[in-house]
Structure 1
Amino acid sequence: MRQKNLKVTAGILIIVAAVFYLIVAGFSTANAAYYLKVSEAINGSVDPGKHYRIEGKIDVTTATFDGKSNPVVLKFQIYDENSPDKRLIVIYNDVKPDNFQEATGAVVEGKFNKDGTFQADNLNLKCPSKYEQADQSQQEGAVTKFLRSLGLKR
């Protein structure tokens, strides 16, 4: 009976230790990234050793893609909508996403190089919603026409 209690106690201690380890690892700052806008990244003092997540609009006219180099290089600029004159050069060493030309913005994750460019490890594009009506002159849907005929919609 005493040996059975010892096994149960040891099992509970192992489970408690594992849960404690997962909690401590979850709060670790090793994977933390500072979230900034482009103007904050340019105006603030950034540390080249820290990991950052930066959001901005993409200037696709400045984008260049070299698919022949090893590794491949996608280079473009991002900027804030409120201050388009402040731009950040982003270097991304991976294939150019298919929807890059249609993207309205991006969130890039990575570190700053010593020359002030941003070396992105991860690139998340923001694309225009396919559910928004692009132009008011588009045809009305059948439901809208029906509601108008009943006088429920103007």
Structure 2
Amino acid sequence: MNRSLKIRLWLAFGAVVLVIASLIGVGIAKSTSYYLTVTQVFADEPSPNAAVTVSGVIAPHSVHWNSSTEALQFAICDQGKNQDLVVDYHGARPQDFSKGWPVIVTGSLINHQTLKASNLEIKCPSKYEAKAPSSKA
């Protein structure tokens, strides 16, 4: 093989490695889940229409569901805190939607206190609780 062919092959190989590395980097960046707490949303004051992902618990007595329009409005807060972020969600009501359960909401801020949700995920508390030790006699 002549020298220019070897150089071109190494350049092509380097380009392929670079493309694969960048695809892996993008995949890792998208798969990591980063979300704000309700307290952080109020402290940071993101601009209106800013896309955010927020984690919190469903505030007691805040759930309003309209089955005919599939409109769900509720508030989320941080555990033990009094600041509520109102969430407007349109779509099927999640099966395990219950007061006091942790949720992750993705959407855009309409104003400083209201989030228009495009995605709603419920965390099942039982999945994160330690199993009771079994007593064997």
Aligned-pair identity in percent equals 24
Structure 2, unaligned stretches of length 5 or more?
none
Q: How many residues align?
A: 135
**What is the DSSP-based 3-state SS (H/G/I as helix, E as strand, rest coil) of the residue aligned with 1:62?**
coil
TM-score calculated relative to the size of structure 1: 0.65
Across the aligned residues of Structure 1 and Structure 2, the Cα RMSD in angstroms comes to 3.6
Give unmatched runs, 5+ long, in structure 1: 135-140, 148-154
Q: Do the aligned residues in 2 keep the contact of 1:60 with 1:101 (CA within 8 Å)?
A: no
User: Which one scores higher on RCO, CA 8 angstroms, separation ≥ 6?
Assistant: 2
Shift of 1:117: 0.7
How big is the shift at 1:42? 2.4
Distance 1:21 1:129 in 2: 37
Q: Deviations over 1:62-96 (max 9, x none)?
A: 21222333xx321111112221x311110122211
Distance 1:17 1:44 in 2: 36
Question: TM-score of the superposition, structure 2-length normalised?
Answer: 0.71
* Contact 2:106–2:118 (Cα < 8 Å) also in 1: yes
AA of the residue aligned to 1:48: P
- Preserved CA contact (<8 Å) 1:110 1:120: yes
| 1:111 and 2:112 are equivalent in the alignment | no
Q: 1:6 to 1:61 in 2, by over 3 A?
A: same
Partner of 1:129, secondary structure, is helix
